[in-house]
Structure 1
Amino acid sequence: MKKTILYLFALVTFFACQTNSQTEEKSTAVGHEGWLEGTSEEKFEEVAHQLGGFSRTMVEVSYRYSELYWSGMDENWGYAEHQVEHIIEAMEDGLKRRPERAESAESFMKESIPAIEALIKKEDKEEFLKGFRALTSGCNACHAKEGESYIMIAEPEIRTSPVRF
């Protein structure tokens, strides 16, 4: 996912440098087999569409959330820290694209995330599990603030990743 975003960012940067607002712009196709077509403005719009809104953010956060849970169950604290870093990164990127979600996410980002980070540093599985349940409550509170309380998050029951400690 990050490689795709970096690739799209590079394309956007390239197009920004190529745009000359004083002349008529020639439409050229770029990307693998020319999938990205149109004027620079049309290409920017398509890149923005490809990056998506907050739903794509939630796909990544969901994956990281599950990996965080299993890393705690395995007591793989380095991997747990890694997952929290990526949850933060995904949320920050998503909030750039959808700043109207920032108010709902504020408590999660400023309270829930630092709390789980502190518990990971303690390297205590039982304390982590309590904190993870609080993190889950933070997820659900954010969803409720967005009027999406029908999206209820629960502890993962099935491990889908091959990563093991």
Structure 2
Amino acid sequence: MRKSVLILATFGTLISCQVNHQEERTAVGSGGWLEGTTDEKFEEVAHQIGGFSKTMIEVSYRYSELYWAGMDENWGYADHQVEHLLEALEDGLKRRKERAPSAESFLKEAIPNIEEIIKKEDKEEFLKGFRALTSACNACHAKEGESFIVIKEPEVRTSPVRF
């Protein structure tokens, strides 16, 4: 009986603390830039991460690096770029679920297709597959009503990575 009373008293105290607790507003981060309640901080971090446009910045980088990796016949680097391109898209789709239907065929067809082509380690096959990947990019943009965003093979190499 005594144990039951102690448990009930502890439980009651915890509930009381939860009900009467108002979260303190604090600042964290270098210089305290991230301020507010926990929920407010999460909202700010979500804002900083951004939506799909920031995803596309990374995808663009990975796309270009994939192209140059194939031109160099650096198949390990090409595989690495596809892996991270896919990861960036998946992360972006977590933030913008409404874009998932447009990306579905890209994720289920175009990405596995280029992965298989990379395994062949054949530059000519890679170029054909990369052009198909490019078409899939443009098809996805069209599905999103953004056909004015036209992707083409990179012409200028900006990365210092070479094989």
CA deviations 1:39-70 (Å, max 9, x no partner) are 11111110110111101100000000000000
1:99 Cα deviation after fit: 0.5
Equivalent of 1:114, from 112, 115, 131? Answer: 112
- Counterpart residue number, 1:68: 66
Residue type at the aligned position of 1:108? F
Residues paired across the two proteins, number? 146
After superposing on structure 2, the runs of 4+ consecutive aligned residues of structure 1 that deviate more than 6 Å are none
Residue 161 of structure 2 corresponds to 163
Q: Which amino acid is the alignment partner of residue 151 of structure 2?
A: I
CA–CA distance in structure 2, aligned partners of residues 119 and 21 of structure 1: 57
SS at match of 1:29: strand
Q: Does 1:52 align with 2:88?
A: no
* Unmatched runs of 5 consecutive residues or more in structure 1: 1-19
How do 1:31-46 residues align onto structure 2 when only pairs under 5 Å count?
Answer: 31-46=29-44
Q: Secondary structure at the match of 1:126?
A: helix
Unmatched tracts of structure 2, length 5 or more: 1-16
Aligned AA (2:120): K
SS in structure 2 opposite 1:84? helix
The SS at the match of 1:37 is strand
Letter in 2 for 1:109: L
Q: CA deviation at 1:86?
A: 0.1
Output the CA distance in 2 between the equivalents of 1:134 and 1:124: 15
1:100 corresponds to which of 88, 98, 101: 98
Aligned Cα RMSD in Å?
1.0
The alpha carbon displacement at 1:21 in A equals: 6.0
* CA distance, structure 2, for counterparts of residue 28 and residue 78 of structure 1: 45
Q: 2:27 aligns with which of 19, 22, 29?
A: 29
Q: How high is the TM-score relative to the length of structure 1?
A: 0.87
Question: In structure 1, what is the Cα distance between the partners aligned to 2:112 and 2:78?
Answer: 13
- Distance (Å, rounded) in 2 between the aligned partners of 1:34 and 1:136: 43
